[in-house]
């Protein structure tokens, strides 16, 4: 009575057993496949960051300094063997170099909460520059990509970060460091605006299982686990961060501060003078 196919002779029970075995195998294989895909994306991210970091080091070899933090990717374009569009509205993943993106980045720079779909890069640089509005006529530079990245200083410590991962801004700093705050105060710049725009808490993205890939000054790329911290109050976060359905940021993860790891951020955070110019 269980015969369903006289020619093949399979019974219903036998078919159910086969289906159960296939389902079991799929249950084992799918997580492994997803894990393999995730690891592949992490590997692609690391390779892209390594290429970007190499371009920065080649630039510094030729100019003795790293480029400024504003449009640093334009300065690196010749070393990436890729043309950068002149107009911001032309930036997207088809016109920008592929090595500037992480496969896990779903919502790239800049400021998605402002309704912009411009895509520039998945990386932030270790350094920042205030604009004239924030500095009331004074531009304040801090960090390696902010006018203080002489190649001799960079190579003196292999623990110094060049690039990290973000989906919002292309520049970052430890804005709570006393040396940075003093420079902002001296220039009569807005510390709160700098904290919102450049602080590593509001720029960091730990999408690799709570880790972020970091390019160091010696060219190596390694994942760095985020440090668990208390979440910032919502008003300190640009609106799209917490409202995004994809939750690209971890508000309770952070990079080490300059006080916790001085070599990580570079020489300017060890009592150095932050550059200012009109």
**Could you give the CA distance from residue 157 to residue 145 in angstroms, rounded to a whole number?**
16
173 forms bridges with which residues in the sheet? 199
Summarize pLDDT for 52-107 with one digit per residue, the tens. 999 998 898 888 888 888 788 888 989 988 877 777 666 777 778 888 989 888 76
In three-state secondary structure terms, 3 is strand
Sign of torsion over alpha carbons 269, 260, 134, 182: negative
Place of tokens 């890729």: 82
Domain extent, residue 188, equals: 12-277
| Average predicted confidence (pLDDT) for the chain | 76
Mean pLDDT value across residues 195-199: 80
**Maximal CA-CA distance, the chain:** 92
Report if residue 44 sits inside a domain. yes
Using alpha carbons, select from 117, 123, 121, 70 the residue that is nearest to residue 96: 121
Report if residue 5 sits inside a domain. no
**Could you give the CA distance from residue 77 to residue 195 in angstroms, rounded to a whole number?**
29
110 upstream amide cis, omega within 30 of 0: yes
The H or E element containing residue 48 is helix 12-63
**Could you give the CA distance from residue 242 to residue 249 in angstroms, rounded to a whole number?**
8
Report if residue 4 sits inside a domain. no
Q: How many domains does the chain have?
A: 1
Report if residue 136 sits inside a domain. yes
Report if residue 101 sits inside a domain. yes
Q: Is pLDDT of 145 > 80?
A: yes
Check residue 218 and report its DSSP letter.
T
**Could you give the CA distance from residue 53 to residue 73 in angstroms, rounded to a whole number?**
11
Asked if 30 contacts 41 with a C-beta cutoff of 8 angstroms, the reply is no
216 forms bridges with which residues in the sheet? 161
Asked if 175 contacts 199 with a C-beta cutoff of 8 angstroms, the reply is yes
Summarize pLDDT for 232-276 with one digit per residue, the tens. 654 444 444 444 444 445 567 889 998 888 889 887 776 555 665
The two tokens of residue 112 are 């998605």
Confidence (pLDDT) at 162: 92
| Residue 41: CB atoms within 10 Å | 16
Q: Is pLDDT of 21 > 60?
A: yes
Report if residue 47 sits inside a domain. yes
Report if residue 251 sits inside a domain. yes
Using alpha carbons, select from 163, 149, 240 the residue that is nearest to residue 202: 240
Report if residue 161 sits inside a domain. yes
**Could you give the CA distance from residue 140 to residue 117 in angstroms, rounded to a whole number?**
28
Q: Enter the pTM of the model.
A: 0.77
Asked if 217 contacts 264 with a C-beta cutoff of 8 angstroms, the reply is no
């Amino acid at each position: 009575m269980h015969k369903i196919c006289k020619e093949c002779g399979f019974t219903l029970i036998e078919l159910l057993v086969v289906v159960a075995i296939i389902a079991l195998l799929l249950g084992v294989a799918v997580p492994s496949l997803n894990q393999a895909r995730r690891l592949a994306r992490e590997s692609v991210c690391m390779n892209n960051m390594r290429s970007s970091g190499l371009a920065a080091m080649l630039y510094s070899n030729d100019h003795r300094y790293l480029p400024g933090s504003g449009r640093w990717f334009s300065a690196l374009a010749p070393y990436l063997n890729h043309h950068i569009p002149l107009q911001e509205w032309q930036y997207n993943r088809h016109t920008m170099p592929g090595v500037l993106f992480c496969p896990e980045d779903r919502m790239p720079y800049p400021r998605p909460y402002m309704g912009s779909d411009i895509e520039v890069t998945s990386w932030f640089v270790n350094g920042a520059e205030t604009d004239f509005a924030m500095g009331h006529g004074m531009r304040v530079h801090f960090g390696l990509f902010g006018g203080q990245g002489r190649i001799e200083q960079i190579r003196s410590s292999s623990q110094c970060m060049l690039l990290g991962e973000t989906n919002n801004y292309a520049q970052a700093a430890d804005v709570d460091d006393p040396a940075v705050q003093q420079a902002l105060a001296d220039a009569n710049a807005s510390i709160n605006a700098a904290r919102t725009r450049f602080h590593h808490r509001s720029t960091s993205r730990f999408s690799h299982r709570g880790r972020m890939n970091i390019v160091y000054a010696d060219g190596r790329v390694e994942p760095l686990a985020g440090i668990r911290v208390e979440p910032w109050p919502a008003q300190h976060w640009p609106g799209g961060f917490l409202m995004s359905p994809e939750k690209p940021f971890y508000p309770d993860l952070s990079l080490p501060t300059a006080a916790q790891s001085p070599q990580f951020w570079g020489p300017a955070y060890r009592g150095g003078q932050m550059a200012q110019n009109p």
